[in-house]
Structure 1
Amino acid sequence: MTQHALSGLTAGPPTDSELASIARILHQDSGIVLAEGKASMVQSRLAKRLRALKIQDYQGYIDFVQTGDGASERKQMISALTTNVTNFFRENHHFDFLREQSLPPLIEHARAGGRVRIWSAGASNGQEAYSIAMTLAELAPDVEKLDIRILASDIDPVMVAYGAEARYNQSTVEAIPQALRHKYFLSDDDQYRAVPKLRNMITFRELNLHSPWPMQGKFDIIFCRNVVIYFDTEAEITLWRRFEAALIPGGYLHVGHSERVPLEQGFKLITAGITTYRRPLQIASESGEF
C-alpha cells in the first residue's frame, strides 16, 4: 500500500477496469450486482475511504482490500456501496397484516408460554424493526413479559450501531403516527430515542445474507424487503430458499413491493397477501434462538 499512500488527492471516477474489479468483489462478498454506468456513484461513496487511507487511486485501493491487512477495509467498502433506504412503517400493508392476521395468534402462543421470533433482514438503521416492535407493543401491552424477540440484521456495521442506539432526528420520526411517536419515543431537542420497551425487544447484529447464518432454529416471521432487488437471479433464488427453510411451518415472509418469490420453481411457500408468503403448516417446530 505504501506506494499509493503518497498523496491525499481525490481520485477521479474509476476506470472501466477498476469498476469491473470493484463490482466483482461486491458481488463475490454480498451477492449484490453493480449495474453498468455506476462509476460516479462508486466515486462518491468510496472517495472518502481513499482519502482516509491516503490511497491515491482505485487500483491501489482494490489491491489493498484483497490483502490480509485490507480485510477490515473490504467490509467498509461493501458497506459503503450498500444502499440504505428505509422509513418507519414503509409499505404499511405489511403492518396491517401483522396487526390483523399474523401477530394475534403468535401473541396468544407467547402468553401460553411459547416463543416467538421475528427477523428483520437487511434492517438498515432499524426503522423497520422498531415499526414491528411498536405494532407488537400496541397489540400486547404485556410484551415485556413474553418471550417475543426481534432480530434486526444488516451488512453495514454503521447501520447496525445506528439501529442499536435507536436515536433518530425529527424529520425521520415524522413518518410515525403522532400517537405512537409520543408513546414510544423520548424527545431531546431534535432527537428522538425509542423507549426501553422497544429497544429491549430487538437484538441488532451485523450479518451478510450472502454468508453462512449463525442463528439456530427458525422464525415465525421474516421481513426482507427491497434487498434482493440488488442481487442477481441466482443469488435471489438462493436467498428465498434459505428464508423458506428458516421459517417455521405456518411462518410468514414479507418481501418488497417490486420483489416476488418464483413459486413456480418448486418453492413450498404459498401466497398469503400483498408481497407476503407463508410456509404451509406441516410439522411442529421450535422457533429461532439468537
Structure 2
Amino acid sequence: MTLSWVPLGYRISMRLPKLFAVLILAGSPFLHAQDAPKSAEHRRIRIAAASDLMPVMPVLETAYEHATGIDVVVSYGSSATLATQIINGEQVDIFLGADFTYPERIVAAGMADSKSPVEYAKGTLVLWARKDSPYLPLHLEVLSDPRVKSIAIANELHAPYGRAAASALKYMKLYDKVAPKLVIGENISQTAQFVESGNAELGLISLTAAASEHFKQLGSYILLPPVSYPPIVQYGVVLKDSPNRSDAHAFMDWLTSGTVQANLPKLGLGAIK
C-alpha cells in the first residue's frame, strides 16, 4: 500500500523550499546543533503529512536532519485519505493532519501512542490567482463576479481546507451561486495545482502554498476573513506500533517547541503558543 498520490508537477514545484532551505535556515533558531550526533546516522522517521504541509516540510526536514542526523521521510495526501490508509495498515511513525478529526480517528482506533492528538500549528485560508489573471488586484467581491467561470477548492469531505473553503463561501452567502463553478481537488495541493496550471481561474488554498516562493512568483493572494470559517487547528499523533517511537516523540517535541513555533509564520503556519 502506498500513501496518497501527489501530482508530479506540483511535487516538482514544491522542491523550491528545499533548495532555499539552507539560506532560510542560516543562523536560524530552527537549528539546535552544529553537527548531527554520529549515533543518529542510520535512524529514520516516517511522517504522513496533510497536503498543506508540502511547502513546509522540506524546510523542517532539513533543519531537523541537520540538528539530529535523523532522516525524515514524508508522504503527503488529504487528511482523510492518510488516516484511512494508516488504519488499514500503512506503516508510519507520525501522522500530521490538517485538523483534529482525522488524528482523533487514529486515537479512537487505539493506534496512537497518546490519549489525544497533539496540536502543532494553525492554518490559514487564502484566495489566490495567477499574475496573468484579469481579476487583479484581488478582492473578495471577485468571487461573485459573473465573468469568473471556475474556482478551485479542496474536497470538503476529505480535506479540512476544503471544509474551511465551503464554510467561507457559505458565510459570504456565495456557495449556492458559485457551486456550478467549483473545481474540486482531492487535497489542498491538487487544488493549488489546478489554479497554478490555469485549470481554475481562482483558488481557495492554504497560506502555506500561497506564501511559498514558487507561488509568490506566480501569483498573489489575499486572506479570507478568519471569521468566515472555523479555525484550522492542526494536530498530529505518534503511532503506537511505530518502531521509532522515541525518535517520533522527539520530533513532535521539537515541532511544538517555542523556538520552532516562533518560526512557523515564515512558512505560512500559525503558532500554537
TM-score normalised to the size of structure 2?
Answer: 0.27
Question: What TM-score does the superposition give when structure 1 sets the normalisation length?
Answer: 0.26
Question: Which entry has the higher C-alpha Rg, 1 or 2?
Answer: 1
Higher normalized contact order (CA 8 Å, seq sep 6+, divided by chain length): 2
